[in-house]
Structure 1
Amino acid sequence: MRILVTGGAGFIGSEFVRQQLGADPTAQITVFDKLTYSGVEENLAPVASLPGYRFVQGDICDPEAVDRVMAGHDVVVHFAAESHVDRSIAGAGPFVLTNVVGTQVLLDAARQHGVGRFVHVSTDEVYGSIDEGSWTEEWPLRPNSPYSASKAGSDLLALAYHRTHGMDVVVTRCSNNYGHYQFPEKVIPLFTTNLIDGLKVPLYGEGGNIRDWLHVSDHCRGIDLVMRGGRAGEVYNIGGGTEVTNKELTGLLLDAAGAGWDMVEHVEDRKGHDLRYSLDISKIRTELGYEPQVRFEDGLAATIAWYRDNRAWWEPLKAKAALEK
């Protein structure tokens, strides 16, 4: 099986590539990545010397580049996306272009080249916010940020190509990911690296927003199950089963750093901030045997330790991001 992984130098995409090649070093995988601010080719260094690995730098919005790289592949696993909510609030244009138009360019090329399966990786944020209970895959889409709206659009486009053209498309929607190699603008690496450097951490509002946390390795195991056994035209939720308020998460990170609440700076809440996310994972559990394997306590401890041990990875990224603001 020859797999094309878009956005494979990013946080989740690189974990998927490392996981696939770790399980089968002879696998044939092409990574296609633009290497924007959050795409780091170094993330793929552990597998870059394997014979089945190939890296191609390119933009999913470029039809000619996509056409060239698509040829000869059996499966597309599509991670490439603009994904930071705050950036989408500041400017929605890149999110619509990459997440919607880029997905359309990929779908057209995959159809033209007769690709066997197209796995579209999405987010629980397309559902909006839920006060109680958990979202099933049939839940209406009610996105509340430009980011989640662009992902909802790409989801619907991917599913439309299945219904209109008969393409073998499957969609996954995940809860909040965490783990090693996550770009340090996201909450866990941002707070962890700030505290390592003795800097305060910015907590939105009173920190009452609730998220379901999913270790990136569990997420990628779920994607693999869907890639190999999911039903065409279906959506599969992939969750971690650990709901934590942002304030509770902050407390855990402070404790791990030996810091007190004086290191917290309460900042104005994000516009349109969703209160709670919660995924029902009954479908992927029943159909494909998925279960999250990484306990949140263990995964969080390992993640914090990784950032402590890998300053050389994250420090230049934070410095570059600060200069770009």
Structure 2
Amino acid sequence: MNMTIQKILVTGADGFIGSHLTEKLVCQGHKVKAFVNYNSFNSWGWLDHTPENIKRDIDVFSGDIRDPYGVKKSMEGCDVVLHLASLIAIPYSYHSPATYIDTNVKGTLNVVQAARELELQKVVHTSTSEVYGTAQFVPITEDHPLNGQSPYSASKIGADQIAMSFYSSFGVPVSIIRPFNTYGPRQSARAVIPTIITQFANGIDKLKLGSLHPTRDFNYVKDTVDGFVSVMKSEKSVGEVINIGSNFEVSIGETVSTIASLMNVQYEIETDEQRLRPEKSEVERLWADNSKAKSLLGWEPKYGGIEGFKKGLSETIEWFTNKENLKQYKADVYNI
């Protein structure tokens, strides 16, 4: 496989990880087309906040990942697609599971079908550590059984299988990147780290949170973005599923304590029932084995371990506590 990358399509470019990835690719000199979700406000999501010297080099395409015709149109003239567009909020998947099938499963089908017809050089499909469910062994390798404990994770398992089936059935050059819990600037307040930081930053000393005992493998967004770039450029990644994680396990309770220490605040915790997952749906433990990414791609986290975690949290806190950024979040409202 000899790749000559002239133009890259990033679906979900308006989102948290997608916007960081789009900016990184432009800064590396790539021609990038950014697929953003069509809306009547002509909003490009987080790309609206991209520095002008980067933004002017982005080719923006507004569409809907559920529309096969628009998806194929967006991919014309591209060599590679980095497919990040999806619905990701787990609580909302309890509320509206059908939208997750339409967006995550059918949306992925639209991408790989268009890639097949247009003979793209590579598709990098975005999975999630949630497909593993509660760890049956740690650290979690790519061979760990899949367990859809929420409609969201079930939809992502379906999307992963659709993507890989096009590799097996039609030879579409698909790679699956499986990031663990990414955090950093621009993340939605539906995620736990922004929830904690924005409440502290707004002077709330009685935190409203869900379960504190589950553990996660938090991955700073810069490391996740580097993982995408590494998977995209590697010929060895075709037909492979690759974990991108820090190989560091920490509980939600410990995360709260670390953030409070970095922000120099005192706090109490109030359990908010609406933030609790149904008992059998809670993923109790996640901890990534990232040895495959290291050996296959030469990728490894720059923000790994407790010191790397603190460094990533410090950069995240700095961004969120900027008044212009903080005012975009509603710390007193539960965001599902």
**SS in structure 2 at match of 1:40:** helix
What corresponds to 1:29 in structure 2?
Answer: 32
What corresponds to 1:96 in structure 2?
Answer: 101
What corresponds to 1:270 in structure 2?
Answer: 277
Letter in 2 for 1:235: V
Letter in 2 for 1:279: A
**SS in structure 1 at match of 2:300:** coil
Offset of 1:48 from its aligned partner?
A: 4.1
Between stretches 168-177 and 63-72, larger displacement belongs to 63-72
Q: Distance in 1 between matches of 2:121 and 2:220?
A: 28
Cα–Cα, structure 1 residues 43 and 98, in superposed 2: closer, same or farther, change >3 Å? farther
Offset of 1:35 from its aligned partner?
A: 5.6
What corresponds to 1:253 in structure 2?
Answer: 259
Q: Distance in 1 between matches of 2:215 and 2:223?
A: 20
| Unpaired runs of at least 5, structure 1 | none
| 8 Å contact kept, 2:129–2:286 | yes
Aligned with 1:85 (options 90, 97, 105) = 90
Letter in 2 for 1:231: S
What corresponds to 1:196 in structure 2?
Answer: 201
Cα–Cα, structure 1 residues 59 and 8, in superposed 2: closer, same or farther, change >3 Å? same
| 8 Å contact kept, 1:35–1:41 | no
Question: Number of paired residues?
Answer: 318
Between stretches 2-11 and 133-142, larger displacement belongs to 133-142
Letter in 2 for 1:181: R
Instruction: Indicate yes or no: 2:53 matched with 1:44.
Output: no
Q: Distance in 2 between matches of 1:202 and 1:35?
A: 33
Q: Percent identity?
A: 33
Letter in 2 for 1:79: L
Aligned with 1:303 (options 316, 319, 324) = 316
Offset of 1:23 from its aligned partner?
A: 2.3
**SS in structure 2 at match of 1:82:** coil
What corresponds to 2:289 in structure 1?
Answer: 280
Q: Distance in 1 between matches of 2:259 and 2:310?
A: 11
Cα–Cα, structure 1 residues 267 and 49, in superposed 2: closer, same or farther, change >3 Å? closer
**SS in structure 2 at match of 1:57:** strand
Instruction: Indicate yes or no: 2:23 matched with 1:18.
Output: yes
| 8 Å contact kept, 2:75–2:114 | yes
Task: For residues 133-182 of structure 1, give each alpha carbon's deviation from its aligned partner in whole angstroms, at most 9, with x where no partner exists.
Answer: 22211222112111111011000000000011110000011110111111
Q: Distance in 2 between matches of 1:212 and 1:43?
A: 28
Q: Distance in 2 between matches of 1:166 and 1:154?
A: 17
CA RMSD of aligned residues (A): 2.2
| Unpaired runs of at least 5, structure 2 | none
| 8 Å contact kept, 2:26–2:54 | no
**SS in structure 1 at match of 2:230:** helix
Aligned with 1:4 (options 9, 12, 24) = 9
Q: Distance in 2 between matches of 1:119 and 1:47?
A: 27
Q: TM-score, normalised by structure 1?
A: 0.92
| 8 Å contact kept, 2:23–2:50 | yes
